[in-house]
Amino acid sequence: MNQRHDAPTAESVAPARLAQSRDEGALDGQGLVLQDLSVLRGGHPVLDMPGTLRAHRGELTALLGPNGAGKSTLLQTIAGLLPASGQLCLDGEALASLTPRERAARIGYLPQLSEGGAMLEVFESLLLARRLAGHLDEQANLHHCEALVSALELAPLASRRLGQLSGGQRQRVAIAQALVREPALLMLDEPTSALDLHFQLAVLDWLGRDARDRQRIVIVALHDLSLAARHAAQLWLLDRGRLAASGPPREVLSVERLREVYAIEARVDWPEDGSPPAIVALRAL
Ligand SMILES: Nc1ncnc2c1ncn2[C@@H]1O[C@H](COP(=O)(O)OP(=O)(O)OP(=O)(O)O)[C@@H](O)[C@H]1O
């Protein structure tokens, strides 16, 4: 197997040659800013991201990279679940200075696998998630949950218990549970992994629209490059714990870069008529 797909090691996590240049050095201002971030797991370096990276309000940012590249580690670090060195600022405020309660109110994080609450009904679970996030106006809560149920096509499931749902249905409810809290920063780790083609498109459409309408920062870890290219305003591409590239999809997703990072031969089509891009993996190298 190609060495590129090996887990990062102390040797492979060298300082990234390509540091993000947008907003270099700016920790203030709107959005999420990461600066000189590095993370150890089990005593080994798994993320090393020198430079400054910003996720903007109102935009969907897709986090890409092969297995073991560090996507979940990065999201867990931003969520405050892993210690890191470097700076993390949300709308100009250091995340480290927030209390756990403040952090929980402002940051929503949906892990790759989320279980629990099997006996709760879908609608009840949304109301509970919203109340736990500190939204106490019951009328507004009902209204908000109903709107979300409709938007994510959950109405037929509203009174079903979570434990009785299929994997894809459960995943859609988990996305709704994260959204219903209305965090300023929403991070979802592979939220479309169990969804059929209709819901992959519908959910990402909705997340993009929600980011724009509510000026939310949304970061989504994805493996599907076509989905990322179609829905994200910018991409962060990780490779063995380093930032290989960041920027608009058309700049990041070149045939050469996919060969280098994913060890694949790919076809990358950006239709001139503005229709969605198609990225097809042709062969593993
Ligand atoms: N609990 C842990 N303890 C020690 N090392 C870990 C732990 N979890 C992950 N790692 C290591 O951290 C590195 C990054 O893993 P991470 O889960 O962030 O990758 P990923 O990009 O999300 O991968 P995938 O696409 O497979 O989900 C890998 O080398 C992995 O082996």
The pLDDT, as a whole number, for residue 8 is 44
**In the predicted model, is pLDDT for residue 153 greater than 80?**
yes
Cα 7 to averaged position of ligand 1 atoms, centre (Å): 8
**In the predicted model, is pLDDT for residue 11 greater than 60?**
no
- Choice from 72, 220, 225 to test ligand 1 binding pocket (greatest atom count within 8 A of CB): 72
Question: Is the reported ipTM for this assembly greater than 0.95?
Answer: yes
Q: 249: domain range?
A: 3-284
d(CA 89, CA 4): 31
d(CA 117, CA 229): 34
Question: Among 33-37, 131-135, 279-283, which is the least confidently predicted range?
Answer: 131-135
**In the predicted model, is pLDDT for residue 1 greater than 50?**
no
**In the predicted model, is pLDDT for residue 46 greater than 60?**
yes
If one counts the domains in the chain, the total is: 1
The pLDDT, as a whole number, for residue 26 is 62
Tell the residue nearest (CA) to atom 27 of ligand 1: 67
Task: Give pLDDT tens digits for 112-149.
Answer: 866 666 788 999 999 999 998 888 899 999 999 999 99
Percent above pLDDT 70 for the chain = 89
d(CA 246, CA 239): 12
131: domain CATH number is 3.40.50.300
- For the segment 64-78, the average pLDDT, to the nearest whole number, is 97
